[in-house]
């Protein structure tokens, strides 16, 4: 018998009999004979015991952030995940449930997502939040989609901050490749260092009456935090929309974009209780103002009542979605990140108002402590004096790749080598410090970098 | 069951669940003008969080509690061992941007998954990056368009889609900047060849086809169809949602499909999670390999052994970006957590097991079809594959609709079948049992449907007022759309 | 089924009331009935120009989001703002308070291709089977 298939021989025979066939093969008469029943060259089947051994061996070939000291961020962060999060996710009623199209038997999922929508709206200072996109990068691409729909194609200029995560920019470029959208960024044909040093006001001259959307990041890819109020005013004066890509953990401390005029807030929700998991599955946060809700893609859970006048939850505004609107839908998204959104709702609830502020502050203080001591090492300097949250760029005396090889030898994962995306920054590294880095670990990093210079 | 309050309704000022240690470093000065004044999140204890979400979970139907005959969703059993494996420290705690030497286990697994999916589908190249089926579709359409663009064939902007297709297909085509032409189906449920022929011209990017289609029928003219499209210079995109019927039975790549997305959360047992996450890897034939989204995993060298007695030559895995890549379609490499689960599943089955999956999925569907077809109209008088469509309507009781049958099924302990598509069968009930359901479950399901058919005549109000024993009754979705309450304050003030 | 005699109709269930050079456009009783409860209406802006057959509005119900097409070509000179707040008027008063747009008719000869009340009634009867 085959794993997971319950049929016995007599089951099969009885069923074939009812159907009126003699052999299972006869079910496949419509398949062209020349290509029917190919032999697949796959490794032989193994039992559960054997696959556990094999896969565990693969896992142990890796070095992970619980064994090594991690100072790497750049869009995915090593944060503490409280045990309560996974204990809820492992409930079969949540993880083996389907999309809640039948509300009578899906109130668990629906209410959990309604709470997630509310929590993210509160965190970002926005009015409505959807039930998730795939990740931060695709959420940014969907913001472009949405802005294009809001202006019904009458405006087609897109302004991207050069300090947007390179992977977000690349994803947007993939999504817009066959559309008449022109991408504007203040880099004059290449990301020049002096342009990266300027703050958001540098984008204002690029905004005009053909602009549909301006996208900035908060904190930006280099960890810097800016007040975007002036930019928001200028964008709105031109009749355009402002989208802000956020780190939700930073919003435990920082002013939310809803307060300074953002029209759309997107972000990577991984910091909210989601394991690093080598890049996925993560969580695309997406929130906007109520006036734009019908142009927003993705599922939405709404509150209503049932026939007994009891409060209940249901997927709403579904007529916007692909299965009804088809080629006129804003987006094709169907499956989302449901279980991951649930995880973040549990995380946000378990930490709550106080816990989220506490963990944000730990990140802030530890990163500033690290920056303070690293900049003092001869040969090193901070690239920017702008305020920052938990990441900052360190200028190093030697190419950053060599530095990181040295650190790895000593059991430390170094920061992100910026030269791979920004050629003029090849002596620079983006260091992230989180609540998972103890003072001793930070001191060790400082000691190592100081020691390396002396060699 | 009682109404479960919202999490904010448990909030009491000063309560906190998870606590963190005090800073072990000196506190830096906060940027006052950028610090938020307040944070309106709930203040609840950990036990409240656990009880709240546990009680919520108890209101859900799930594969773990019962049968989901949802057509095109492939709601098969989600193996428990997969959940353990995905959570191994060596997988869960690895940062995507770590140096490749430190993640060889992950890269080896991804490489192996790329290989086995390619083998199963008949494809030369595979990218695991797309996050879901629809994402894979977008990737595939962009690949097709990029291929034509490279051949300076920019006149091509048309995508053909059968009228039975899932809504993601036309939505994807628009998203990719293409225009959509719908191709009708014929009386046997196949694509109308004449209509297809008319549209096969030099403006054709490609045809998006689902095979078996959403009626559960194997395209009888599949070879003719792919040949027609290729002869006009177009490409064929395969929607792999229905792959459960093809495992070890036929390889889409052999049948003329040039690019296909897999749904790991359907065919390959990764859980549905209440709506996601999924995973939609894309497979392509030789001529499209250069266009795949990157990075993908490849062997970039050999590992030099530190032990002088050991042979060199173990492959060193790394990331490469195909030379004419359409670009990345999301951050990082795709849903790695789902790769672990799908890989373990495929290995536990092997080629023989995968073929059994298809055989029993199709056997189960035909068993249901034959047992129901006297009582419910099954419009296509053919052997079906892994799913079939029945009509949830009878002329003698015109007031009863598929929706009513669906809701009454809930009272019998079953999740309803899909009943919002395919659009070409009115009042459709699309039924896909999958191979992990036993004959006993199928018989109980048939009995329930036969009983409901009887009730439709003898006591229709039982259907109209269904479901009866669920946490909520039928909900007012007009009110939901009109009032649009999409959230509430989370700060613990009285919200009603 | 209410089908006022003084209007012209399209195969997609729009009606047009011609008043000299201008026309008032909305959706018919048959349309609102098949849509069931309307929850949203998206209208164009004054000054927008559309050709015959182009989508100028979207009417959303719980089941569907239907495109509304121009019966004839023209420029939008007035938009029924009330409708953007009170969507249920489409169901309650499709020919009166739920008019959608007023246009300057660009090509009066296009009116000849539309159905009169009798033809439209026959068309509705045929579809109800």
- Window A:55-84, CB contacts with C under 8 Å: none
pLDDT at A186: 60
pLDDT at A310: 96
**A324–chain C nearest CA distance, Å:** 6
Nearest to A339 by CA among A98, A102, A117, A94: A94
Query: Which residues of chain A neighbour B471 with C-beta distances below 8 Å?
Result: 104-105, 107
pLDDT at B214: 87
All residue ranges of chain A with pLDDT < 70 are 186-199, 453-455
pLDDT digits (tens, 9 = 90+) for B386-437: 999 999 999 999 999 999 999 999 999 999 998 867 777 889 999 999 999 9
Instruction: Answer yes or no: is pLDDT of C67 > 50.
Output: yes
CA-based nearest residue in chain B for residue C88: B482
CB within 8 A of A139, min separation 6: which ones? A133, A245, A266, A267, A268, A284, A285, A286
pLDDT at B495: 40
Question: Which residue among A294, A317, A324 sits closest to C64, beta carbon to beta carbon?
Answer: A324
User: CA-based Rg of chain C, rounded to a whole angstrom?
Assistant: 13
pTM comes to: 0.95
CA-based nearest residue in chain B for residue C86: B482
Determine the average pLDDT of the residues in C82-96: 92
**Subunits adjacent to chain A (3 or more Cβ pairs under 8 Å):** B, C
All residue ranges of chain B with pLDDT < 70 are 1, 305-312, 420, 492-496
- Window A:194-213, CB contacts with B under 8 Å: none
**B398–chain A nearest CA distance, Å:** 23
Average pLDDT, chain B: 94
pLDDT at A336: 87
- Window A:316-375, CB contacts with C under 8 Å: 317-320, 324-325, 328
Name the interface residues of B facing C (CB cutoff 8 Å): 477-478, 481-482
pLDDT at A184: 85
Q: Which CATH architecture has domain A69-78+352-454?
A: Alpha-Beta Complex (3.90)
pLDDT at B380: 87
Instruction: Work out the end-to-end distance of chain A between its first and last CA atoms, rounded to an integer number of angstroms.
Output: 64
Q: What string of H, E and C letters represents the secondary structure of chain B?
A: CCCCCCHHHHCCCCCCCCCCCCCCCCCCCCCHHHECCCCCCCCCCHHHHHHHHHHHHCCECCCCCCCCCECCCCCCCCCHHHHHHHCCHHHHCCCCCCCHHHHHHHHHHHHHHHHHHHHHHCCCEEECCCCCHHHHHHHHHHHHHHHHHHCCCCCCCEEEEECCCCCHHHHHHHHCCCEEEEECECCCCCECHHHHHHHCCCCEEEEEECCCCCCCCCCCCHHHHHHHHHHCCCEEEEEECCHHHCCCCCCHHHHCCCEEEECCCCCCCCCCCCCCCCCCCEEECHHHHHHCCCCEEEEEEEECCCCCCCCCCEEEEEEECCCCCCCCCCCCCCCHHHHHHHHHHHHHHHHHHHHHHHHHHHHHHHHHHHHHCCCCECCCCCCCCCCEEEECCCCCCCCCCHHHHHHHHHHCCCCCCECCCCCCCCCEEEECCCCCCCHHHHHHHHHHHHHHHHHHHHCCHHHHCCCCCCCCCCECHHHHHHHCCCCCCCCCCCCC
Residues of chain A with CATH 3.40.640.10: 83-347
3-state secondary structure (DSSP) of residue A391? strand
- Judged by CB atoms closer than 8 Å, whether chains meet at A278 and B94 is answered as yes
Structural domain spans, chain C: 8-124
pLDDT at A424: 84
Query: Which residues of chain C neighbour A319 with C-beta distances below 8 Å?
Result: 39, 60-65
Size of interface B-C (CB pairs under 8 A): 11
**C38–chain B nearest CA distance, Å:** 8
Residues of chain A with CATH 3.90.1150.10: 69-78+352-454
**C37–chain B nearest CA distance, Å:** 7
Query: Which residues of chain B neighbour A369 with C-beta distances below 8 Å?
Result: 25-26, 28
Q: What share of chain A is helix, strand, coil (3-state, %, to 5)?
A: 45, 15, 40
- Judged by CB atoms closer than 8 Å, whether chains meet at A42 and B351 is answered as yes
pLDDT at B281: 98
- Which of B331, B332, B347, B412 is the best residue to mutate to test the A interface, defined by the most A CB atoms within 10 Å of its own CB? B331
**B420–chain C nearest CA distance, Å:** 10
Letter string b/e over residues A276-292, b meaning 16 or more CB atoms within 10 A of that residue's CB: bbbbbbbbbbbbbbeeb
- Which of C36, C37, C60 is the best residue to mutate to test the B interface, defined by the most B CB atoms within 10 Å of its own CB? C37
**What is the CATH class of C8-124?**
mainly beta
* Confidence check on the interface: ipTM exceeds 0.95, yes or no: yes
Task: Report percent pLDDT > 70 for chain B.
Answer: 97
Question: Which residue among B73, B357, B382 sits closest to A5, beta carbon to beta carbon?
Answer: B357
d(CA A383, CA A393): 6
Q: How wide is the angle at C-alpha B265 spanned by C-alphas B260 and B270, nearest 5°?
A: 135
CATH code reported for the domain at A83-347: 3.40.640.10
**Subunits adjacent to chain C (3 or more Cβ pairs under 8 Å):** A, B
pLDDT at C17: 95
pLDDT digits (tens, 9 = 90+) for A408-445: 999 999 999 999 998 888 899 999 999 999 999 999 99
Size of interface A-C (CB pairs under 8 A): 20
**B21–chain A nearest CA distance, Å:** 9
pLDDT at A199: 64
């Amino acid at each position: 018998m085959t794993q997971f298939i319950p049929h016995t021989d007599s089951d099969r025979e009885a069923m074939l009999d009812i159907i009126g066939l003699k052999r299972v093969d006869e079910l496949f008469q419509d398949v062209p004979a020349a290509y029917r029943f190919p032999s697949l060259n796959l490794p032989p089947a193994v039992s559960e015991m054997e696959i556990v051994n094999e896969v565990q061996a693969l896992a142990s070939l890796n070095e992970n952030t619980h064994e090594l000291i991690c100072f790497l961020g750049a869009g995915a962060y090593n944060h503490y995940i409280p045990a309560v999060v996974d204990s809820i996710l492992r409930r079969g009623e949540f993880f083996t449930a389907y999309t809640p199209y039948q509300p009578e038997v899906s109130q668990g999922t629906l209410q959990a997502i309604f709470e997630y929508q509310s929590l993210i709206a509160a965190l970002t200072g926005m009015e409505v939040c959807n039930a998730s996109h795939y990740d931060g990068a695709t959420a940014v691409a969907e913001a472009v989609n949405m802005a294009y729909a809001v202006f019904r194609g009458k405006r087609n200029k897109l302004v991207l901050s050069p300090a947007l995560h390179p992977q977000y920019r690349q994803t947007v470029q993939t999504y817009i490749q066959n559309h008449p959208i022109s991408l504007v960024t203040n880099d004059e044909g290449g990301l020049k260092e002096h342009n990266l040093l300027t703050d958001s006001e540098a984008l204002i001259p690029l905004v005009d009456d053909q602009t549909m959307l301006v996208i900035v990041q908060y904190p930006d890819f280099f960890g810097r935090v800016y007040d975007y109020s002036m930019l928001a005013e200028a964008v709105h004066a031109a009749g355009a929309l402002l989208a802000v890509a956020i780190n939700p953990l930073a919003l435990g401390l920082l002013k939310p974009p809803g307060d300074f005029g953002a029209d759309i807030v997107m972000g990577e929700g991984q910091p909210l209780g989601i394991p690093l998991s080598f890049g996925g599955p993560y969580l695309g946060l997406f929130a906007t103002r109520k006036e734009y809700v019908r142009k927003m893609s993705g599922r939405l859970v709404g509150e209503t009542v049932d026939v007994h006048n009891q409060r209940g939850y249901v997927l709403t505004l579904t007529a916007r979605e692909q299965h009804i609107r088809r080629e006129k839908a804003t987006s094709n998204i169907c499956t989302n990140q449901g279980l991951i959104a649930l995880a973040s709702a549990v995380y946000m609830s378990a930490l709550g108002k106080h816990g989220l502020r506490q963990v944000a502050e730990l990140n802030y203080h530890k990163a500033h402590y690290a920056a303070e001591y690293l900049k003092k090492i001869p040969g090193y300097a901070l690239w920017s004096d702008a305020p920052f949250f938990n990441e900052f760029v360190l200028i190093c005396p030697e190419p950053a790749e060599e530095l990181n090889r040295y650190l790895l030898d000593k059991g430390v994962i170094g920061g992100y080598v910026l030269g791979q995306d920004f050629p003029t920054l090849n002596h620079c590294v983006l260091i992230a410090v989180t609540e998972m880095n103890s003072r001793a670990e930070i001191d060790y990093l400082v000691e190592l970098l100081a020691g390396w210079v002396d060699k | 069951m009682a109404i479960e309050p919202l999490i904010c309704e448990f909030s009491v000022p000063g309560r906190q669940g998870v606590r963190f240690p005090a800073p072990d470093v000196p506190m830096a000065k906060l940027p006052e003008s950028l610090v938020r004044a307040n944070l309106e999140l709930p203040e609840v204890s950990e036990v409240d969080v656990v009880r709240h979400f546990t009680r919520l979970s108890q209101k859900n139907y799930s594969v773990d509690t019962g049968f989901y005959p949802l057509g095109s969703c492939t709601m098969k059993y989600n193996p428990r061992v997969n959940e353990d494996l995905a959570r191994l420290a060596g997988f869960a705690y690895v940062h995507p941007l770590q140096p490749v030497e430190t993640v060889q286990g992950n890269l080896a697994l991804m490489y192996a998954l790329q290989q086995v999916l390619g083998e199963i589908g008949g494809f030369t190249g595979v990218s695991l990056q797309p996050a879901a089926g629809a994402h894979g579709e977008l990737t595939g359409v962009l690949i097709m368009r990029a291929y034509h663009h490279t051949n300076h064939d920019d006149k091509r902007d048309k995508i053909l889609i059968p009228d039975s297709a899932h809504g993601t297909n036309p939505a994807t085509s628009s998203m990719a900047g293409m225009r959509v032409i719908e191709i009708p189906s014929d009386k046997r449920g196949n694509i109308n060849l004449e209509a297809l022929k008319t549209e096969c011209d030099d403006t054709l990017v490609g045809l998006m086809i689902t095979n078996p289609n959403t009626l559960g029928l194997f395209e009888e003219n599949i070879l003719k169809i792919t040949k027609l499209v290729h002869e006009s210079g177009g490409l064929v995109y395969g929607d792999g949602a229905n792959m459960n019927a093809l495992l070890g039975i036929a390889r889409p790549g052999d049948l003329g499909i040039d690019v296909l997305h897999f749904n790991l959360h359907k065919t390959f047992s990764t859980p549905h999670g209440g709506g996601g996450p999924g995973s939609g890897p894309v497979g392509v034939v030789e001529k499209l390999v250069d266009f795949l989204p990157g990075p993908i995993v490849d062997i970039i060298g050999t590992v030099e052994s530190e032990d002088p007695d050991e042979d060199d030559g173990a492959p060193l895995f790394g990331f490469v970006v195909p030379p004419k890549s359409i670009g990345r379609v999301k951050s990082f490499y795709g849903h790695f957590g789902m790769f672990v689960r799908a890989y373990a599943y495929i290995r536990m089955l092997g080629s023989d097991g995968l073929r059994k999956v298809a055989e029993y999925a199709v056997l189960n569907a035909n068993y249901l079809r034959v047992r129901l077809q006297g009582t419910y109209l099954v419009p296509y008088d053919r052997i079906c594959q892994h799913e079939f469509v029945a009509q949830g309507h009878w002329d003698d009781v015109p007031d009863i609709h598929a929706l009513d049958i669906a809701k009454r099924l809930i009272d019998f302990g079953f999740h309803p079948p899909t009943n919002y598509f395919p659009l070409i069968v009115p009042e459709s009930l699309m039924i896909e049992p999958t191979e992990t359901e036993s004959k006993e479950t199928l018989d109980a399901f048939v009995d329930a449907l036969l009983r409901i058919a009887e009730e439709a005549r003898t006591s229709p109000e039982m259907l109209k007022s269904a479901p009866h024993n669920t946490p909520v009754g039928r909900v007012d979705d007009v009110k939901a759309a009109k009032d649009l309450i999409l959230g509430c304050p989370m700060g613990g003030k009285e919200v009603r | 089924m209410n089908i006022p005699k003084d209007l012209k109709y399209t195969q997609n269930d729009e009606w047009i009331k011609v008043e000299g050079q201008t026309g008032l456009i909305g959706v018919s009783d048959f349309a609102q009935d098949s849509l069931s409860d309307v929850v949203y209406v998206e209208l164009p802006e004054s000054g927008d120009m559309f050709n015959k057959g182009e989508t100028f509005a979207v009417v959303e119900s719980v089941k569907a989001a239907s495109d509304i097409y121009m019966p004839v070509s023209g420029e939008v000179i007035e938009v029924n703002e009330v409708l953007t707040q009170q969507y249920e008027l489409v169901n309650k008063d499709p020919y009166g308070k739920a008019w959608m747009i007023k246009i300057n008719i660009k090509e009066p000869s296009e009116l000849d291709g539309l159905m009169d009340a009798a033809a439209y009634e026959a068309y509705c009867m045929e579809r109800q089977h």
